[in-house]
């Protein structure tokens, strides 16, 4: 019995370490220069991740159909899950927004996502996650300090496969989610997940204290190092828009 209790305790410690790693600012206790570097690495990974989704054989059609209609895109290059009895999942991501009054996408802002579950589980897994924010309610939730999916904004899994593009027409959720497994990933439910801003990381990336409202509403800061990510998202959106215009002229 003592050996079993010790085993469970040690695994709970591992889960707690995962949670601390997720909610610490990309390593915790780093200097501003290092935080800026880590932030840029996350931005670069987000660019690759979104390209992975856009070209994915199962998920690409839905992503390409929804991105032109999305008000924002939140990209998590890596969401980790480690579990034994208690489960912990989380990761860091970046949000880019397409304001109605502007043709270009703006951002990014840094966020974290955490989710705790309970059940008979074992192992550690990883996945890429893309959240397409479709409504003003979804945007408002993310501009707050933290938001709980399913409470502050409803979330639905995006369709995929051969009929993925057609199936997007009837979606009405605030946020549409796509999960792309890396290795053996058994699935991830985002209902109940908490998404919170990374204010220290945002400030390090822009060189002064900023919050998401400064980046997206007041638009007082920019960082040209994010241009490649913004262009990558804009290109996915513009392909669908161009196709729609061509179809309307025929």
Phi, psi of 121 (to 5 degrees): -135, 165
pLDDT at 86: 56
Instruction: Compute how many other C-beta atoms are within 10 angstroms of the C-beta atom of residue 28.
Output: 10
* Bond from prior residue into 42 cis (ω within 30 degrees of 0): no
Helix 227-249 with 32-55: angle, nearest 10 deg? 30
pLDDT at 79: 87
pTM here?
0.80
pLDDT at 200: 92
Alpha-carbon dihedral angle through residues 65, 114, 204, 48, given to the nearest 10 degrees: -40
Q: How many whole angstroms separate alpha carbon 58 and alpha carbon 42? A: 25
pLDDT at 34: 87
The per-residue DSSP string of 152-194 comes to TB-EEEPP-STTHHHHGGG---SEEEEEEEESS------TT-E
Are the C-beta atoms of residues 107 and 215 closer than 8 Å to each other?
yes
pLDDT at 188: 65
Q: Which residues of the chain have pLDDT under 50?
A: 3-18, 20-21, 23, 25, 27-30, 121, 166, 241-250
Q: How many whole angstroms separate alpha carbon 225 and alpha carbon 62? A: 28
pLDDT, tens digit (0-9, with 9 covering 90-100), for 71-87: 999 999 998 876 555 56
pLDDT, tens digit (0-9, with 9 covering 90-100), for 180-236: 877 655 556 788 889 999 999 999 999 999 999 999 999 999 999 999 999 999 999
Residue 94 DSSP symbol: E
Q: How many whole angstroms separate alpha carbon 236 and alpha carbon 232? A: 7
Give me 112's structure tokens: 């974290």
pLDDT at 2: 52
Q: How many whole angstroms separate alpha carbon 24 and alpha carbon 119? A: 25
Domain span at 15: 2-249
Q: How many domains does the chain have?
A: 1
Q: How many whole angstroms separate alpha carbon 204 and alpha carbon 207? A: 5
Give me 92's structure tokens: 């860091």
Q: How many whole angstroms separate alpha carbon 234 and alpha carbon 130? A: 15
């Amino acid at each position: 019995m003592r050996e079993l209790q010790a085993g469970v305790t040690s695994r709970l410690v591992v889960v707690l370490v995962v949670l601390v790693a997720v909610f610490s600012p990309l390593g915790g206790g780093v200097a501003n220069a290092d935080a800026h570097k880590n932030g840029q690495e996350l931005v670069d990974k987000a660019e690759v991740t979104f390209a992975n989704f856009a070209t994915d054989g199962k998920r690409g059609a839905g992503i390409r159909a929804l991105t032109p209609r999305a008000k924002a895109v939140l990209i998590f290059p890596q969401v980790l899950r480690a579990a034994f009895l208690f489960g912990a999942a989380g990761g860091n991501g970046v949000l880019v927004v397409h304001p109605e009054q502007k043709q270009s996408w703006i951002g990014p802002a840094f966020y974290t996502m955490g989710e705790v579950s309970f059940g008979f589980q074992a192992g550690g897994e990883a996945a890429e996650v893309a959240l397409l924010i479709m409504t003003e309610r979804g945007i408002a939730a993310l501009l707050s300090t933290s938001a709980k999916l399913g409470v502050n904004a409803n979330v639905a899994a995006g369709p995929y496969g051969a009929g993925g593009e057609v199936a997007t027409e009837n979606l009405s959720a605030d946020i549409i989610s796509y999960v792309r497994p890396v290795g053996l990933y058994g699935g991830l439910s985002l209902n109940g997940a908490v998404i919170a801003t990374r204010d220290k990381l945002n400030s390090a990336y822009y060189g002064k204290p900023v919050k998401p409202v400064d980046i997206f509403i007041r638009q007082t800061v920019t960082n040209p190092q994010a241009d490649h990510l913004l262009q990558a998202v804009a290109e996915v959106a513009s392909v669908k828009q161009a196709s729609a215009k061509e179809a309307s002229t025929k």
